[in-house]
A and B are shown apart, each in its own frame.
Chain A
């Protein structure tokens, strides 16, 4: 027994750090969401227990359901559809491209992903700005583009997130497609299946585990995107692009309602936790 304890000693620093800075905030989040903690004023130092008031407030607040909906739209459009479909398409195209094109395309796509998030956000801001590159190009062919960041903020941030994050899916699917035995697709081809049929009935079923893993990971990553949206639109105009991270930040720090912001954070933690558990359960046979 003592040997077992001695062997576990090197784990101690990791356990302490994780308990203090990861578990601590999660536990505090659940607790804090039941208080009226504020950023300043009397309730900042001595928060009171107010039960479910924050959550009741959330349901009554028109901003919250809207924000929840925007988050669903953002995650679904940019991660589940955008990054995954474009990622798998890129991975497939890369396999049949000649070498220089392949390296150019993959380098460019990966570069958008490697850039620090704030720089990527500035680049996307400039691209979608009313005087930005996109409208300049549209103007070149005689179209007067709208002010994307104001008239269609969600479209702009969704496209920006696809631009920023597709590299990840592309790399995962490149690896997955490399594992598909060529005999399978060749056999299907001999049987007269066209490209789309081969994709639907041979390739996708073979890489389905990669697809589910990648869907889960991109969902979790996109759920926590803050900087890109904050820099591009600030959650606006109004609250038209305030996803949950933006809303939590604004409630806690702009409107100084830390308790209320914490309740939103708790909702996010629970949603993220559910996804994580699904993901880990899917991995389980292989982790055990």
Chain B
């Protein structure tokens, strides 16, 4: 089965010559295989066209002076739609609010989940396992389901229409996932380096800050971007919790714009959507650069669940005190040797230290 890597990210489909790897078996297989291959390519292209059409409308309509709801090449390309919406109250303030919400909850989530992941990753704690189970349960909880009670709770706490309150709530909802991801990244930092720091008299927190954090910087970046992207795209939570227009992020104000002008100004709606979606697309590309896998965000989302499921490897909740050497030899190394010999590099990090730690795949 798979190695203990946290992401099932199919770098195989991305960078390895899968298609050419398997020779056709037997004389009968060759012509059939090539026909199948052509058919597969055609079907894939057809599916790609179906998938791209709705998105292509957003792009083309945003540059179309007479945009309709239907996809079509603009008669004359124009940036008038963008010019029309780029006003402080319509665009910049909501985008700034979205940035504050996303960066705020991202920062809180990273700090809190690094703190929480450290004992979970490094110590054998009696309740650590139960904590992780609870967190796992939390990741499964449909957030939509709790929004009505959350609204009632915010009324009680007098937090309704409060930006900090919403930031903390969003941080809390992304915490379960972030704790799992951070713990997985931290598990891949060998403990021997910290032991050296401890013998020099460093406290656990000093070791965390000086030794562990610098080594898991890519992982922290991935967690932050993951939370940021989620918060940036979140519509329902600010829609319910933030009432005044001057506090609402772009997701909500774009919806209000749609309600007011959506039936007339399709071009502007599309331009606004594109402007708002661009940072997310950029950050996704950034994550793929950091982690070296095109499907990194899914790997990050999926990794601790799907990856673990595939790997058959215990996640070692509370078993951190084992010497790094045993982990490296017992878990990481064979999987690496078996699966990704080319990717293993000498260095302080064990080669199975997770997809995020690998170099970009070509």
Contacts and interface: CB of A to CB of B under 8 A. Distances in A.
A287 B137 CA distance: 13
Q: How large is the interface on A (under 10, 10 to 19, 20 to 34, 35 or more residues)?
A: 35 or more
A262 B281 contact: no
A8 B258 CA distance: 48
A81 B61 CA distance: 32
A119 B299 CA distance: 23
Interface string A264-277: 11001100110111
A117 interface: yes
B185 interface: no
A4 B125 CA distance: 7
B276 to A, nearest CB: 7
Interface residues of B, number: 124
A110 B204 CA distance: 40
A220 B177 CA distance: 15
Contacts of A175: 2, 7-10, 12, 295, 306-307, 310
Contacts of A226: 144, 235-236
Interface in B1-22: 1-2, 7-10, 12-14, 18-19, 21-22
A252 B151 contact: yes
A174 to B, nearest CB: 3
Contacts of B76: none
Main secondary structure of the interface of A (DSSP, over half): helix
Contacts of B18: 95, 178
A205 B355 CA distance: 26
B40 A97 contact: yes
A159 to B, nearest CB: 10
A129 B314 CA distance: 49
Interface in B104-156: 111-113, 115-116, 118-120, 123, 125-127, 129, 131-138, 140-153
A50 interface: no
Given A119-B277, A269-B146, A286 B308 contact: yes
A258 B273 CA distance: 32
Interface of A: 4, 7-8, 10-11, 13-15, 17-18, 20-22, 24-26, 28-29, 32, 37, 86, 90-91, 93-99, 101-120, 122-124, 126-127, 129, 131-133, 135-136, 163, 167-168, 171-172, 174-179, 182, 186, 189-190, 195, 209-210, 213-214, 217, 220, 223-227, 231, 244-245, 248-249, 252-253, 258, 261-262, 264-265, 268-269, 272-273, 275-277, 279-280, 283, 286-288
Interface of B: 1-2, 7-10, 12-14, 18-19, 21-22, 25-26, 29, 36-37, 40-41, 43-45, 47-48, 50-55, 57-58, 61, 68-72, 111-113, 115-116, 118-120, 123, 125-127, 129, 131-138, 140-153, 168-169, 171-173, 175-176, 179, 204-205, 229, 232-236, 240, 251, 254-255, 258, 266, 269-270, 273-274, 276-277, 280-281, 284, 294-295, 297-299, 301-302, 305-315, 317
Nearest 7 CB-CB pairings of A with B: A175-B8, A224-B142, A174-B10, A116-B233, A276-B140, A21-B172, A268-B145
17 contacts: A11-B116, A22-B172, A25-B152, A29-B148, A103-B14, A174-B295, A175-B2, A224-B143, A245-B145, A253-B240, A261-B148, A265-B147, A269-B145, A276-B140, A283-B136, A286-B311, A287-B132
